């Protein structure tokens, strides 16, 4: 069996909240996943084109407007299917039901249903990349993280940041669930795992465990 190509992660900050949209693929493959296309679909599509990539899936880590704003336009430009955690799927179809910041988020504001919903433990293959879905509720009820364990990589959306955590004061937020997601789920990953959050710089599980005063043996 041929060795897998190296994992490539291209961060594309979009919108006035500087949401981290990620383009993820493997060297040797021309199919990429787009995670959290918050705004500016044409900019994201242009980044794909310049790298010779096609969009194989659009994945939302959660349903807040500053992470889903370009879903509809990007789906129209690429034909890719849209995925989101099951408990957040209603947010895509009814964005007006959540805090009304879409106009400020720079998103295109399309209402659409997700093509597929994701649950804890699901595996989603996009090109040569296989994501393992981790349910990480708290910031929203259906928040998910996307783990690539063999690559020591995880995309955490707005659950875990560098020296910070997601807010829980929006509708559906749950502080107890958020810290359970961080301490029980994310902090069970290999400490060398690189963390790509929904906003701000990347970090590692080890660094965030230290910041939280936690430790484990892995």
88-118: per-residue pLDDT in tens?
A: 998 888 765 444 444 444 455 556 789 999 9
Asked whether 156 and 197 are in contact (CB, 8 A), the reply is yes
Return the pLDDT at 58. Answer: 98
Sheet holding 203-204, edge to edge: 123-126, 129-135, 144-148, 153-157, 194-197, 203-204
Return the pLDDT at 2. Answer: 56
**Helix 41-50, helix 71-78: angle, nearest 10:** 40
Rounded Cα distance, 36 and 69, in Å: 9
Confidence band of 65 (pLDDT split at 50, 70, 90): confident
Q: To which H or E segment does residue 195 belong?
A: strand 194-197
Q: Which residues contact 196 (CB under 8 A, 6 or more apart)?
A: 9, 11, 20, 22, 153, 154, 155, 156, 202
Question: What is the distance, to the nearest Å, from the Cα of residue 15 to the centroid of all Cα atoms in its chain?
Answer: 15
Q: Which of 42-46, 69-73, 93-97, 211-215 has the lowest mean pLDDT?
A: 93-97
Return the pLDDT at 104. Answer: 46
**pTM listed for this prediction:** 0.92
Tokens coding 150: 């063999």
Return the pLDDT at 100. Answer: 47
The position carrying tokens 């710089």 is: 201
pLDDT tens, residue by residue, 18-34: 999 999 999 999 999 99
pLDDT tens, residue by residue, 116-149: 999 999 999 999 999 999 999 999 999 999 999 9
Give the pLDDT mean for 188-202: 97
Ordered by where they begin, the domains of the chain are 7-212 (3.60.15.10)
Return the pLDDT at 110. Answer: 59
Give the pLDDT mean for 187-208: 97
């Amino acid at each position: 069996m041929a060795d897998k190509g190296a994992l490539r992660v291209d961060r594309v900050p979009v919108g006035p909240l500087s949401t981290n949209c990620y383009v993820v693929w493997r060297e040797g493959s021309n199919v990429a996943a787009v995670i959290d296309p918050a705004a500016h679909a044409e900019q994201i599509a242009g980044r794909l084109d310049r790298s010779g990539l096609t969009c194989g899936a659009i994945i939302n880590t959660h349903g807040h407007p500053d992470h889903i704003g370009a879903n509809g336009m990007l789906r129209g430009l690429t034909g890719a299917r849209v995925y989101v955690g099951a408990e957040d799927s209603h947010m895509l179809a009814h964005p007006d039901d959540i805090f009304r910041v879409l106009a400020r988020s720079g998103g295109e504001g399309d209402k659409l249903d997700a093509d597929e919903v994701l649950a804890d433990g699901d595996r989603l293959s996009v090109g040569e990349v296989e994501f393992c879905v981790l349910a990480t509720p708290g910031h929203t009820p259906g928040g998910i993280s996307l783990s690539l364990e063999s690559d020591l990589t995880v995309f955490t959306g707005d659950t875990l940041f560098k020296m910070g955590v997601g807010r829980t004061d929006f509708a559906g937020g749950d502080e107890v669930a958020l810290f359970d997601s961080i301490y029980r789920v994310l902090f069970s990953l290999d400490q060398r795992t690189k963390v790509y959050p929904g906003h701000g710089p990347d970090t590692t599980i080890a660094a965030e465990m230290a910041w939280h005063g936690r430790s484990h043996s892995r």
